[in-house]
Structure 1
Amino acid sequence: MAGQSGELVYDAKMKNRLKRSEGQIRGILKMMEEKKDCREIVTQLTAVRTSIDRVIGLVVAQNLAACVEKAQQDRTEDTESYIEEAIQLLMKSR
């Protein structure tokens, strides 16, 4: 969540999701070493991608919230430009 001064805080939920993805990737590498069926590997890769996509969404959403909060406090920045930047980040992640 955004801190009081508008900076981004990467919370425990985000970090835990990434740690879970990291564990899944290690599991996928082990599956590859064990020559598991490609369908199982693709299923796990898809799960990792979905998990990472969710983290990207959280990071962008919280960054947007922090930027809008800061813009409102400073009254110097264009909130619309932050929203556009967030949309571009989400589109780039696809």
Structure 2
Amino acid sequence: MAYGPKTANRVKRIEGQLRGILRMMEEEQHCKDVITQLSAVRSAVDRTIGVIVSENLLDCVMTAEGDAEKMDMAIQEAMDLVVKSR
């Protein structure tokens, strides 16, 4: 599967957020602020997972060419990935 620049930018943004959190910890900032930023990272990761799974699902369904069994397998695999990520 090819990952587009939007997906890569999401991951780069998450990387920047994590670096910021490390800096906050080194500066011994209040734990409430650190937790708030960690929660934001968690949400960003969850959204990124959703984007990747949905793009992959669309790709799999389109290549199934009407084969119901292939489509069912693609949908089940996508759902397994979502459940596994939680």
With the length of structure 1 as denominator, give the TM-score of the two structures.
0.85
Identical-pair percentage: 49
Aligned to 1:26: 19
Instruction: Name the aligned partner's letter for residue 23 of structure 2.
Output: K
5+ residue gaps, structure 1, are 1-7
5+ residue gaps, structure 2, are none
Using the TM superposition, give the Cα deviation of residue 79 of structure 1 relative to its aligned residue in structure 2, in angstroms.
0.8
Superposed CA RMSD in Å reads: 1.5
Name whichever structure is richer in helix by fraction.
2
Q: Structure 1 residue runs of 4+, over 6 Å off? A: none
Q: How many residues align?
A: 86
SS in 1 for 2:3: coil
Using the TM superposition, give the Cα deviation of residue 76 of structure 1 relative to its aligned residue in structure 2, in angstroms.
8.8
Using the TM superposition, give the Cα deviation of residue 9 of structure 1 relative to its aligned residue in structure 2, in angstroms.
2.3
Aligned to 1:92: 84
Higher relative CO (Cα under 8 Å, sequence separation at least 6) belongs to 1
Instruction: Name the aligned partner's letter for residue 72 of structure 2.
Output: E
Aligned to 2:52: 59
Q: Deviations over 1:13-60 (max 9, x none)?
A: 111111111000000000011111111000000001111111100100
Match of 1:17 among 10, 13, 38: 10
